[in-house]
Structures are given as C-alpha cells and as structure tokens.
Amino acid sequence: ARSLQLQFNVALVTVSLLLVSLAVWFALRFADRQVEPLTDLVGAARKVGQGNFALRVEGRTGADEIGLLNRAFNRMTAQLEKQTDDLVRANRQIDDRRAFMEAVLESVTAGVISVDHDANVLLMNNSAQALLSEADSVDLTGQPLVDLSPEICMMIADGKDRGVVTHAKGSELLTLAVTVAPGNNGYVITFEDITRQLLDQRQAAWSDVARRIAHEIKNPLTPIQLA
C-alpha cells in the first residue's frame, strides 16, 4: 500500500511539475508575444531618430492597442518623410536660386552691394569690389559701407534713391551713377562708373566749341552777312 501510495505521489508531483512548466511556458510565450511588438517599435523609433524616415512597422495592425500603436507610428513616419522631402526640396531650390543670383551678379558689369539697415555690407559682387576697393582678394562682407564709400552712405542717410557721386580710389577720382533700392533686410545698391562717359561727353563738347570757334575765325563776316 505504501509503495502504491508512493508511486501515486510521485506521479502527482510529476504531473504537477509538468502542468506548472507548461503554464510557465505558455505565460512566457504570451508575454513574448505582447512584448515583442513593443521591442520592435522601440528599435524602429531608434532608427527613425537616426534619420530613417522611410521605415514602417510591419506586423499587427488590428484593432487592439498594439495595432493602434503601430498604425499611429506608421502615420507619424509617413508625415515625417513627406515633411523632410519637402524641406530638402525647398532647400535645394533655395540653393539653386542663390547660385543663379550669384552667377548673375558676377556676370554684370555694374557694381551691386547689399547692406543691412546699419549699412554693413552683406553681399558684394566683383565689379563693386573692383570699383570701391583696391584690395580685390579681401572679403569685405561685414565691413561698414561708410569705410568703402562715404558718399554712397550719405545718399542712404539722406533717403535719396539715385544720384551721381565721386569716389576716390587711390589716385583716381571716379564718378559713379548710383541707385538705391530698399530690400528685405536693408538696401540694395547698384552703381556704374561713368567717368569715361563724362570725359567723352566733355571732349565732344569741347570739340564742338573748338569747331565753332575755328569756323568763326575763318569766316568773321558770316554773322554780319546773315544779319
């Protein structure tokens, strides 16, 4: 009887251990099934944080809490990807426009300067630097305009939008035709060197005067006869 009871007890303990082990195994499997999607989501969030906005979570997308969380995560990454693409596209367009404007500014012969409201240089093309400064290779960005051309700076202070000023460049005295236009962050100044043009006009005027004088000297009686 004792032997039978002992065998029964051993069998009962064995079955109990098997049932407990099976219950623990099912509990672990269930826990893994619940935790694994969250672990995958954490890993996906880490990759998104590193810049992979094209990532989408695959797996449960049902009506339960995990499915709702996965769908929300996928919507978020889709929006982030679209916004990032829009920003990259906008930045590319801005860079293209900036490069185009810089190419245009460097190709024109007129001097172009952009200054802020305090008359500090923000941008200057090569033509402007060649006219105003003797140092062609020095970056003048951030320099006060009054140090480069007090006359142009005085035009801005007086509120004039166009005029003719003289500028001393070394031993040369240049005559500049200046136009000032208000910009978003200050003023845009364009100017051309008309020194040669004025000199040609003066020479042409003096040539005409000399021709008239020579004509009068050769024909002193012409005015009298015409009278």
Q: Identify which has the larger pLDDT, 103 or 82.
A: 82
pLDDT-based confidence at 66, cuts 50/70/90?
confident
Is residue 72 pLDDT above 80, yes or no?
yes
Q: What one-letter code names the amino acid at 113?
A: I
pLDDT of residue 187: 92
DSSP state of 134: S
- What's the mean pLDDT when you consider all of the chain? 81
Does residue 189 contact residue 177 with C-beta atoms inside 8 Å? no
Phi then psi dihedrals of residue 136, to 5 deg: -75, -25
- For the whole model, what pTM was predicted? 0.50
190: helix, strand or coil: strand
Asked if 110 contacts 124 with a C-beta cutoff of 8 angstroms, the reply is no
Half-sphere exposure of 226 (CA within 13 A, CB side): 6
Q: Tell me the per-residue pLDDT of 109-121, one tens digit each, with 9 for 90 and over.
A: 888 999 998 889 9
Q: Strand, coil or helix: what is 108?
A: coil
Which residues is 173 bridged to in the sheet?
168
Neighbours of 79 (CB within 10 A): 11
How far apart CA 142 and CA 36 sit, in angstroms, is 57
pLDDT at 215 over 70: no
- Is residue 102 scored above 80 in pLDDT? no
pLDDT tops 60 at residue 136: yes
Does the pLDDT at position 40 exceed 80?
no
Instruction: List the 111-116 sheet strands across, edge first.
Output: 121-124, 111-116, 186-193, 172-182, 162-169
- In terms of Cα–Cα distance, which of 64, 46, 63, 65 is closest to 55? 46
Q: What is the mean pLDDT of residues 80-103?
A: 85
Please state, in angstroms and rounded to a whole number, the distance separating the CA atoms of residues 60 and 66: 7
Q: Is the dihedral of CA 168, 170, 176, 181 positive or negative?
A: negative
3-state secondary structure of 110: coil
The mean pLDDT value for 165-188 works out to 86
The answer on pLDDT for 34 being more than 60 is yes
**Among the ranges given (115-124, 157-166, 188-197, 202-211), the one the predictor scored with the smallest mean pLDDT:** 202-211
pLDDT at 141 over 60: yes
pLDDT at 212 over 70: yes
φ, ψ of residue 98 in degrees (nearest 5) = -65, -45
